[in-house]
Amino acid sequence: MSKSTIKKFAVGTAIAAVAGYLAGILTAPKSGKETRDDVKDAAAKGITEAEKQLKRLHTELHDLIEQTKEKTGDISEKTRDQLHDLLDGAKDSKEKVREVLSALHEGDAQDRELKKAMAEANKAIEHLRRYLAK
């Protein structure tokens, strides 16, 4: 199984676990205040987990971008142009992750933006890893 498949499976499992947890909370025989508190705690836990994943992606992208820059010594002009395109895409993904992370801290992040930023970052990471493996 590839790393991207494993990551997708892990994200899907986490989402399913949170959904199941919320369904259990909403059907449990607790008072409204207790249920609201439990939902707030679950939401905070989900936000914390998303922040951890975004920070990890941001850091990994930063490290791979730096490693790629170091490896550009003896390459042809055509390869250098392709590499610059690759690095520009990775930097854009890194910036998008930072923006979504900021929005998440402010409570303005949307699930669609979060998923898109994570997917783009994972794709950029995979491209940089393939380049560095050459």
Confidence class of residue 3 from pLDDT cuts 50, 70 and 90? low
Confidence class of residue 15 from pLDDT cuts 50, 70 and 90? confident
End-to-end CA distance of the chain: 21
Domain that holds residue 9: 3-133
Number of domains in the chain: 1
For range 20-41, the mean pLDDT: 75
CA pair distance 91, 13, nearest whole angstrom? 29
pTM of structure = 0.55
